[in-house]
Amino acid sequence: MQHMKVPGKDTYRIQDKIDLILKVNYNSSFFAAIFGLVCFFFLDIKGVIPYTFWGYAIINLINTLLYKQHGKLVFTYNSTSILSMLGAVIITLYSGGIESPFVFVLAIIVFAGYVTTKVFGQLYLILNLAVLTLLFLYDIGDFKISENTVPLEERSWFAYLSAMFAVYLLGGVFGKNLLSAHHKLYKSRNEIQERIDEKETLLKEVHHRVKNNLQTVSSLLSLQSRSIDDSKISNIIKSSQNRVVSMAMVHEMLYKRDDYLSKIELKPYVQELCDYLVRSVKGSGNNVHVNLDIKNYKLSIDTVIPLGLIINETITNALKYGIAEVRDGEIHVSVERIADNRYKMYLGDNGIGYSEEINPKTTNSLGLKLIYNLARQLRGSISRDYSKKGTHYTIEFEEVIEQFNSVDQ
């Protein structure tokens, strides 16, 4: 089954430029021909000026029609611009030089250049400034190759028609089409914004449903653990419940956010997760202090979920087996950025720790296996500091932006 090819945004932008350039060419050719007829038959202007208008109209029209054959927009545009500049200079020279009202038509060429591209705009700006300078020097110099062929009594009419010609091309053609393009852009932006808002609403609803489903699973696990007399099995179910809750918190935070629906603020998430784990394991009246040193990092959901599971496992192990109940316990969690998308997380406690002889790869502890497998999933590494009392991990990881994979890999 073939997929329909969707035009890119550049396709629409280029097509708008093509339409604008062709409209300008057709209109300028038509009105140049009319202007030439008016000059010849009504203003009694003979010779160079009307023939320049007609020559421009014919050559520019041929140039525009040829575009449909070769499709080279840059060639068509530059041919029209050079032709317009030459025609404007010739008419200006034979209608008063630097004092000719037709000299302002040169500004339209510069404007057309900027409408096309910034480079062409700057190029024709420099060229037209140079032309104006040469016209001025020619006007004040002694060397003359032309004279004002507009009859004295018709110069006001010529000035009026020149102004009308320039204003119509600038406002009636360029202005009208640019306004139309602006309205299309504004309409497209509104449509895109509506689609974004709709997708954000749907995404929030997805996070909300996932969070609710995970909470339901958590509640079922909680009920199951209460109905089991075997404390070992009950603890296993409780650990699974905490893992589910750590994932549910991520979706809850995403659901509550008004922006960054794919990013999680790490510090409040870790704070909420740690507080929950301490209450869950030690109860409300505990003597455990959690110290956080995390800046306002925003990480992807594919990074935070495994990161939250790592924190869940390490803190749960510390609370259950490391920190004695008879004294104050301390848990430290810190995260720092070490590269553009790489981070270092430190997890430590002041408990009794566990033996150096325990190998995470061969141990029967699911928690330790999860910690090491999740660190690998985050394209990172994990190391333990045996020189300090308690359990201390340093985990280097990378922000992952991809679909969440199985921790068994």
DSSP annotation string for 269-313 = HHHHHHHHHHHHHH-SS--EEEEEEE-S-EEEHHHHHHHHHHHHH
In whole angstroms, give the CA distance from residue 236 to residue 150.
Answer: 101
When mean pLDDT is compared across 189-193, 222-226, 325-329, 350-354, the lowest value belongs to 325-329
Q: Looking at residues 204-219, what average pLDDT do you find?
A: 79
Q: Is residue 365 part of a domain?
A: yes
Task: Provide the residue count of the chain.
Answer: 409
Quickly state the pLDDT bin for 277 (edges 50, 70, 90): confident
User: What one-character-per-residue DSSP string does 114-144 give?
Assistant: HHH-HHHHHHHHHHHHHHHHHHHHHHHSS--
Instruction: Give residue 56's pLDDT.
Output: 93
Q: Which residue has the higher pLDDT, 63 or 202?
A: 63
Integer CA distances (angstroms), 290 to 284, 319, 328, in order: 14, 11, 11
Q: How confident is the model at residue 11 (pLDDT cuts 50, 70, 90)?
A: low
Which pLDDT does position 325 carry in this prediction?
A: 60
Could you tell me if residue 320 is inside a domain? yes
Share above pLDDT 70 across residues of the chain, in percent, rounded to a whole number = 89
Say if residue 174 is in the same domain as residue 52. yes
Average pLDDT of the chain, as a whole number:
82
Of residues 251, 250, 347, the one with CA closest to residue 308: 250
For the cut 50, the answer to whether the pLDDT of residue 215 exceeds it is yes
Domain boundary residue among 134, 165, 186? 186
Q: Distance from first CA to last CA of the chain, Å, rounded? A: 34
Domain range for 349: 262-409
Domain boundary among 186, 205, 224: 186
Query: Above 80 in pLDDT, residue 289?
Result: yes
pLDDT in tens, 259-275: 555 688 889 989 988 88
pLDDT confidence tier of residue 405, bands split at 50, 70 and 90? very low
Kindly state the average pLDDT of the residues 1-11: 45
pLDDT score of 88 more than 70: yes
Residues 312, 374: Cα–Cα separation, whole Å: 12
By mean pLDDT, which of 241-245, 278-282, 364-368, 387-391 is the weakest?
A: 364-368
Instruction: Note whether 149 and 291 are same-domain residues.
Output: no
Does any domain span residue 230? no
Together in a domain, 35 and 174: yes
Q: Round to whole Å and give the CA distance between 167 and 52.
A: 20
User: Total structural domains in the chain?
Assistant: 2
For residue 198, being part of any structural domain is answered with no
Give the pLDDT confidence score for residue 113 in this predicted structure. Answer: 79
Instruction: Provide the 3-class DSSP secondary structure of residue 186.
Output: helix
Quick one: 286 and 165 in the same domain? no
Tens digits of residue pLDDT in 105-140: 888 888 777 777 788 888 888 998 999 999 899 888
Considering the domain architecture, whether residues 266 and 180 belong to the same structural domain is answered as no
Rounded Cα gap, residues 209 and 220, in angstroms? 16
CA dihedral 177, 183, 188, 191 (to 10 degrees): -160
Say if residues 178 and 116 touch (Cβ distance below 8 Å): no
Same-domain pairing of 166 and 268? no
- 45 and 163 co-located in one domain: yes
Residues 381 and 297 in one domain: yes
Residue 302 identity: D
In a domain, 247, yes or no: no
Euclidean distance between CA atoms 315 and 374, whole angstroms: 15
Residue 267 lies in a domain: yes
Q: Establish if 257 belongs to a structural domain.
A: no
pLDDT tens by residue, 301-312: 888 888 888 988
Regarding pTM above 0.85, the answer is no
* 380-390 pLDDT, tens digit each: 888 888 888 88
Give the pairing of strands 392-398 and 342-349.
antiparallel
269 within some domain:
yes
Alpha helix positions (H), 43-99 = 48-70, 73-93
Least reliable range by pLDDT among 88-92, 158-162, 368-372 = 368-372
* DSSP character at residue 403: P
CATH number of 269's domain: 3.30.565.10
Domain boundary among 133, 160, 186: 186
